[in-house]
Amino acid sequence: MDIFEKCPAFTAAREAIAGGYYPFFIPMTDNEGSEAIYQGRRVIMCGSNNYLGLTTHPRVRQAAIDAIHRYGTSCTGSRFANGTLELHEQLESELASWVGKEAALVFTTGMQVNLGVISALVGRGDVVVLDKDDHASIVDGARLSWGEMKRFRHNDMDDLEHIFKGIPDGAGVLVVVDGLFSMGGDLSPLPELVPLCKRYGPRLMVDDAHAMGVFGGGRGTAAHFGLVDQVDLIMATFSKSFASIGGLIAGDEVVIHYIKHHARSLIFSASISPPNTAAALAALHVMQDEPERIQRLEQVGAYMRSELQRLGFNIGQSVSPIVPIIIGDDMRTVFTWKLLFEGGVFANPVLSPAVPEGQQLLRTSYMATHTDDQLARALEIYERAGKLAGLI
């Protein structure tokens, strides 16, 4: 069999493109944060992870420009070899202090953090336990490890305890959960999860890709619940609130030192570029100097959850600026996305199997820099589309 035979047999995306209902890889002319431009017309951006709106902040932009002037555009090598700058270590030190841990390690992408950390720590005879709604990068990191992967029902602590009871004595166990779940906008129940891990002995890693900059005064889910000292590892990415690209893992120094020398995705990848490193560091400084952005984001998220519920949309269990509109059908989800997009709102359709059948949704997300006028216009467009699609 020719390994390429599957390629021409995959026609679903081409059919959607031809039919005008293809919602992915939309090429924007410009992206100005809270609004973007597509083929000459403006759309309100309600599908970004730019939660604090820092991609257009003057200090963040200037930091990236200054780094290019000083260092050039790339380090052209791995952190392990020639690709570490003092700037990387400054970012690591300041991030460790920010999240309340002894040490931190910066990777080139958030995906690489989860691939590298989980596969480095989980070896033969070990077990990695995941929430069924965990991000794909966590699942892939577990698959790359030599250990056994087990998954518990989303936020179901009884199911998790049942799994713990079935793990053989002597096995090393790592539990990995999203702090803020990227599709549902709900939080992991750390106040219940942490005592369970303490009782049975597993170590706990929290992926705060979406929570960092959003909860806990910007420090993430563990800080939000007052459990920083009880969470072993805190992961985050720079492609959301930090207005850059990259990722970090933070924890005890001895654990970070081990990961630094065993994570293949760190050792065999070129390091995060100087402008991206400088942008992330500048974004951290803006978070520290302008806490009102985090407060504004909380207000915007609460307002949009309340208003979308008032209109009659099903937003699930969201408690964050990630607000799903749960539709439950692929075709109706794409149809609603098209109505919104043509009406002037950019949102993200999430279809099966990315979510379970019956949970198809439009993922909407909001920024501290959305104006009241933009939010009001977006709600008008949501209402029109919702009525035309028979959702409200």
Task: Read off the pLDDT band of 352 (50, 70, 90).
Answer: confident
Name the β-bridge partners of 39.
none
Helix (H) and strand (E) counts in the chain: 15, 14
pLDDT at 353 over 90: no
Q: Where in the chain is the domain with CATH 3.90.1150.10?
A: 10-55+291-388
Residue type, 91: L
Assigned architecture for domain 56-289 = 3-Layer(aba) Sandwich (3.40)
- In CATH terms, 10-55+291-388 corresponds, of 1.10.1040.10, 3.90.1150.10, 3.50.50.60, 3.40.50.620, to 3.90.1150.10
- Give percent of the chain above pLDDT 70: 100
Cα 209 from chain centre: 4
Chain centroid to Cα 106, Å, comes to 16
pLDDT in tens, 37-80: 999 999 999 999 999 999 999 999 999 999 999 999 999 999 99
pLDDT for 176 equals 98
Task: Tell me the whole-structure pTM to 2 decimals.
Answer: 0.95
> Each residue of 85-109: b (16+ CB within 10 Å) or e?
bebbeebbeebbebbbbebbbbbbb
**CATH 3.40.640.10 domain locations along the chain:** 56-289
Q: What would the pLDDT profile of 9-26 be if each residue is shown by its tens digit? A: 999 999 999 999 999 999
DSSP state of 35: E
Tokens of 130: 């995941």
